[in-house]
Structure 1
Amino acid sequence: MTDRRPLKQILRKEALARRDGLDPFWRVEAALEMAERAAEHVEFVPGTVVSGFWPIRTEVDVRPLMFALREKGARLCLPAILDKTTITFRELVRGAALVEMGFGTAGPGADAAVIDPEIMLVPLAAFDSRGHRIGYGAGFYDRAIAKLIEAGRSPRLIGVAFDCQQVEAVPDEPHDIVLSEILTESGLHRFSV
């Protein structure tokens, strides 16, 4: 089997360069619009656990979306980096202090409840029209999602990115998790998984 990591690294670098080139003020407006659009189209029952992520660098800021989903009754959580290979999800409640998690992220401290997300907002560097994603290379989300699936959970996976991060084709690897949906500024795109 051919090593696909070099091609993924190139696609990641190019997609992130396009994202980095977006106007910062436009990114803020796009994130707010995405939050409004997704809050209308992401259906769930109150009490559903939704994981978001603390945005780093030029990522889509999903905090407006998380708060819009909270207003609809979602319980929120954020990933907590436990070590170099593992993340877990800790409940995000109003007023609780956030701590630095590494990689420029923040999340609830060790005293927060650990909960399994039923809907996951998934960060990514690049994606294709089939729902395949390229992450940042550490594999945190692939392992966390695989662990949830092994435990009998089947979280709804919604990638979050800007349209400019789309690539023609992501090279498939056996460990890759395919997303069922991707939210961009042009809408919520659904895939057959």
Structure 2
Amino acid sequence: MAVPPPFPAPAEIAAHADKPALREALRTMRADHVARLGEEGRRAAAAAAARLILPHIPHGAIVALYLAIQQEIDPDPLVALLDARGQQLALPALHDATTMDFRRWIPGEPLDRGPFRLRQPPAHAPFVTPDLIVTPLVGFDRHGGRIGQGKSHYDRALVRYPGAHRIGFAWSVQKVPGRLPHDPWDMPLHAVATEREWIPMPEIGA
């Protein structure tokens, strides 16, 4: 099934100067978009995004992914493609309310419930240092800016793994015109994959 085209972002999305208000506006827009897609459209979009990102993931790289919650685009099709390659995968794991690391994960293995009911690998799974982090988003811009859920887990984790290539995974409607608000500790994305395009951030570099 063809992926329906995105509907235009409301003008007020770009006008929010503060992150909390912008985050809520983007969440509402994302939820509306996902509802419009329907289940079959969501699956088609996730598969399209997976095909676009796959050529940019080197064979042999340790790849950290996520398990989708709420209306996030689902990386399951990407997980299947990488698993078929024999790629080493990891998932985020919280071991307190603020600190997120990445633990090795083999698809199909049982998961534990961590803080905030995060589904994560069990405590015996080894920690890994990812070469590439595929991160969920609430919104992004074309300059590497991202806005997340608001708990700063990814913000702190990205700072702790500065050598990892940072790729956002998102619906195309989550792209914000202009630049997102930026804090000094924000780590910019190297690229974003949506169901419609691969978006490199040339000003960030490799």
Q: TM-score, structure 2 length as denominator?
A: 0.83
Calculate the aligned-residue CA RMSD, in Å: 1.7
Distance 1:72 1:182 in 2: 22
Give the aligned residue type for 1:167: V
Which residue of 1 is the match for residue 110 of structure 2? Answer: 97
Distance 1:37 1:28 in 2: 14
Tell me which of 155, 163, 167 is aligned to 2:172.
163
Q: Is the 8 A contact 2:96 2:115 kept in 1?
A: no
**97-106 or 129-138: bigger deviation:** 97-106
In the TM superposition, residue 160 of structure 1 has moved relative to its aligned partner by 0.7
Q: Is the 8 A contact 2:83 2:107 kept in 1?
A: no
In the TM superposition, residue 37 of structure 1 has moved relative to its aligned partner by 2.5
Equivalence map 1:60-139=2 (5 Å) = 60-139=73-152
Q: Secondary structure at the match of 1:91?
A: strand
Q: C-alpha deviations, 1:41-85, integer Å up to 9, x for none? A: 224132x21000011001010121122122223200000111111
In the TM superposition, residue 6 of structure 1 has moved relative to its aligned partner by 6.7
In the TM superposition, residue 95 of structure 1 has moved relative to its aligned partner by 4.4
Q: Is the 8 A contact 2:52 2:193 kept in 1?
A: no
Q: Secondary structure at the match of 2:109?
A: coil
Tell me which of 50, 72, 75 is aligned to 1:35.
50
Q: C-alpha deviations, 1:95-145, integer Å up to 9, x for none? A: 421112344531210010110110100111111111100111111111111
Relative to structure 1, the CA distance from residue 97 to residue 84 in structure 2 (aligned partners, 3 Å threshold; closer, same or farther) is: same
State percent identity of aligned pairs.
31
Q: Is the 8 A contact 1:52 1:63 kept in 2?
A: no
Relative to structure 1, the CA distance from residue 103 to residue 162 in structure 2 (aligned partners, 3 Å threshold; closer, same or farther) is: farther
Q: Secondary structure at the match of 1:88?
A: strand
Give the aligned residue type for 2:27: L
Tell me which of 38, 41, 57 is aligned to 1:24.
38
Distance 2:118 2:193 in 1: 21
Q: TM-score, structure 1 length as denominator?
A: 0.88
* Gapped regions of structure 1 (runs ≥ 5): none
Count the aligned residue pairs.
183
Q: Is the 8 A contact 2:62 2:88 kept in 1?
A: yes
